[in-house]
Amino acid sequence: MQSRGDHDTPVTDATLLPDRLDPDSQRVRGDGVDLHVVTAGNPADPAVLLLHGFPDFWYGWREQIPALVDAGYRVVVPDQRGYNLSDTPQPVSAYRIERLVADAASVIDWTGRESLRVVGHDWGAIVAWSLALRRPELVDRLGIINVPHPTVFRETLQSSPRQLLRSWYAAAMQLPRLPEWALARDDCALLARTLAATARPSAFSATDRRRYRAAWQAPGTVRGMVNWYRAAARHGVDTPRDRVGESTLVVWGQQDDALLPEMAQESVDYCADGRLERFPAASHWVHLEEPTAVSELLVDHLTTPTSAAD
């Protein structure tokens, strides 16, 4: 296991956030790994857990963190295992969905709350869906950005050649060693091009791209990112039930290169209390392309009174 506790003044810690948010970096014990967690906002405020995806790190929520803090929330944002300043275990089995959900549960337990509002994007949304389906008592409300319900995605992959074609990159990740070499070479140039190719120009500034490249070059990170895909292919992401009981908001950029847009409504149909908000001109990175609108939707969804105490 690669520990990140010895990094000297990492450029990807909480100092990237405005001082007014009172941000901080913590080390939190997950399921057998140490996780780097950024927090911001008043510790007494209701808490929101934000889960990033591929090839992101906590900084992917840079637009939502200030909006949520200003709305009266305590924001808790981990680097998920295999990313940036969190530990990067080597075995593929360490990235099974059970371990990823257990990490999220550990972070929730660390906050001292019985349950949190949970929001996820990309792979982080898969963890968020799975947390709600495996440990519903830990999820107060659910926010999902551009990833379908696990059952919808599995069934669509099995029935739709169009989706299978769009998922070609996940198959490429199964090759031994080659994905790590390709993604890491030339200072992670391919990953940088992927960000530019899959998002509108406004989503990632030149400064953002430099920060992402610094995060990707942390020891073990490229391998860790790839292993999320390998573990999903080898071990699956099945859940013990399909129906989501918690109030759920699904936000979907319709121009997602990797995911068919019809899966958005099909995912909401699995929710007892679901709502879908589409952005026709936005991509997979809708929360960075339309940050104000997405943040307002999240604040509205998370603030609506619930019966669960926070």
By annotation, the residues acting in catalysis are 122, 229, 284
Helices marked H in 4-122: 64-70, 97-111
Secondary structure class of 233 (helix, strand, coil):
helix
Are 118 and 49 within 8 A, CB to CB? yes
Q: Where do we find the tokens 């939190």?
A: 28
Question: In this structure, what are the phi and psi dihedrals at residue 280, rounded to the nearest 5 degrees?
Answer: -60, -35
Query: CB neighbours of 18 closer than 8 A, spacing ≥ 6?
Result: 66
Instruction: Give, for 154, the enclosing helix (H) or strand (E).
Output: helix 150-159
Nearest CA to 49 out of 130, 134, 139 is that of 139
Report d(CA 229, CA 180) in Å as an integer: 12
Question: Strand order in 116-121's β-sheet?
Answer: 24-29, 34-40, 74-78, 47-51, 116-121, 139-145, 248-253, 274-279
Report d(CA 205, CA 63) in Å as an integer: 13
